[in-house]
């Protein structure tokens, strides 16, 4: 069994990754969409997507659960953490309250600015289709799952877990994370299935060509061609153009967010 001290260290280190979506904003400070204009479109999209996947579907009661930590941090006079602080050895000695207060701030900001963030994501996808078509939504979801699990573990080791409602709130948050993982695994399965199907179509076309050469008199080449073309159209990957691919990626991300929000009770 992993010692508690090692588990705490690992949890704090993983939760530090959460700060990457804040783009150098100090703990307790609001994420500024305008400040993100200085980032490349691809990095803006990645960070905003990760922010939404980490915070989407969060029960409002979880924010209330973390409020004492936020208030404690606000009055503690603790130094604010810049982004660079999160990638240095100093993060290993950051206290639990600082990390959870940062997470609570992100939850709150994402809830209050959800519409604006989603509009920014869609606009970036339309304006920079080639960049966005290259992003892997499933990879971002995997990162979000790691961060959400780290937040949940950190809550479990904090004093807020003594709240009578904490167990239910924490279970709901973990349930949302499992739901996100299931959606990610389903997307991966669909992509693998589509790849297999496309390979099968190519293989089918090659075999039919061979049959045609063997039985030229018995095979209608036009019929074969039409049927293979029909199969290709039916199983064509979404995104034959960069624009389609980018919007498909964006739609996939927004669908994840919508489905996660729909699970909030």
**What is the domain partition of the chain in residue ranges?**
4-181+240-262
Q: Is 18:147 a contact under the CB 8 Å cutoff?
A: yes
pLDDT above 80 for 208: no
Q: Is 80:28 a contact under the CB 8 Å cutoff?
A: yes
pLDDT at position 9 is 46
pLDDT at position 101 is 83
DSSP state of 29: S
Give the model confidence (pLDDT) of 65-120 as tens digits: 989 888 888 766 554 444 344 444 554 456 678 778 888 888 888 888 988 998 99
200 Cβ contact list (under 8 Å, min separation 6): none
CA Rg value for the chain: 24
Give the model confidence (pLDDT) of 59-71 as tens digits: 888 888 989 888 8
pLDDT at position 92 is 46
pLDDT above 60 for 39: yes
Q: What is the pTM of this model?
A: 0.66
pLDDT at position 86 is 42
In the chain, the percentage of residues whose pLDDT exceeds 70 is 58
CA distance 63 to 85: 25
pLDDT at position 17 is 41
Mean pLDDT of all residues in 3-26: 42
pLDDT above 60 for 37: yes
Q: Tokens for 218, please give them.
A: 């018995």
């Amino acid at each position: 069994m992993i010692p508690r001290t090692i588990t705490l260290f690992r949890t704090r280190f993983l939760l530090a990754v959460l700060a990457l979506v804040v783009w150098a904003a100090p703990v307790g400070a609001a994420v500024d969409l305008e400040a993100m204009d200085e980032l490349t479109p691809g990095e803006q999209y990645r960070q905003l997507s990760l922010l939404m996947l980490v915070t989407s579907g969060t029960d409002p009661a979880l924010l209330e659960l973390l409020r004492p930590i936020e208030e404690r941090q606000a009055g503690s006079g603790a130094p604010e953490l810049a982004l660079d602080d999160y990638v240095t050895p100093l993060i290993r000695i950051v206290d639990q309250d600082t990390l959870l207060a940062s997470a609570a701030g992100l939850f709150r900001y994402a809830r209050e600015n959800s519409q604006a963030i989603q509009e920014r994501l869609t606009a970036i996808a339309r304006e920079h289709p080639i960049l966005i078509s290259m992003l892997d939504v499933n990879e971002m979801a995997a990162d979000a799952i790691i961060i959400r699990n780290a937040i949940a573990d950190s809550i479990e080791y904090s004093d807020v877990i003594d709240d009578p409602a904490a167990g239910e709130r924490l279970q709901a948050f973990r349930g949302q994370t499992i739901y996100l993982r299931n959606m990610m695994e389903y997307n991966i399965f669909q992509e693998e299935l589509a790849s297999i199907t496309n390979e099968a179509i190519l293989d089918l076309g090659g075999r039919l060509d061979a049959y045609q050469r063997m039985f030229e008199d018995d095979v209608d080449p036009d019929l074969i061609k039409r049927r293979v073309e029909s199969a290709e159209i039916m199983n064509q990957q979404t995104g034959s153009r960069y624009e389609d691919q980018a919007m498909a990626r964006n739609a996939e991300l927004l669908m994840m967010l919508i489905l996660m929000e729909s699970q909030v009770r």
